[in-house]
Each structure stands twice: as structure tokens, then as C-alpha cells.
Amino acid sequence: MAAGETHEQILAAYPQLKPADLAACLDYASQLAAEEAVLAGGWSCSS
């Protein structure tokens, strides 16, 4: 998805995946992003 592929393209390329698998990945990524703080100067750290 970060490379610009749609859900449909990913599911076509990886038929073993289900739409719920992609949703789970996005949920996990959003949880990781919520825990990360971006500091001045471009540094980041996890809270």
C-alpha cells in the first residue's frame, strides 16, 4: 500500500490473503504509529 498498490492489486498478487488480513495489517500499523513520537530534528522514539 505504501508503494501505491490498491487492496485489490495486493489481493490479486497474494491470493492466500483475505481482506481481513489487510485490515489487520493496517490496524497494527496504526497502533505502532500512535505509540511513536517525532522529535525536532527528525528523530523519533517509541513512548
**Residue 45 placed within a domain:** no
For residue 22, the model assigns a pLDDT of 95
Give 1-47 pLDDT, tens digit per residue.
Answer: 778 999 999 999 999 999 999 999 999 988 888 877 766 666 666 65
Residue 1 CA, chain-centre distance (Å), reads 8
Q: Tell me how far apart the alpha carbons of residues 46 and 10 are, in angstroms, rounded to a whole number.
A: 29
1 lies in a domain?
no
- Tell if the pTM clears 0.75, that is, is over it: no
Domain extent, residue 29, equals: 7-39
* Residue found by looking up cell 493496517 in the block: 26
Split into its structural domains, the chain has a count of: 1
Residue 12 in any domain: the answer is yes
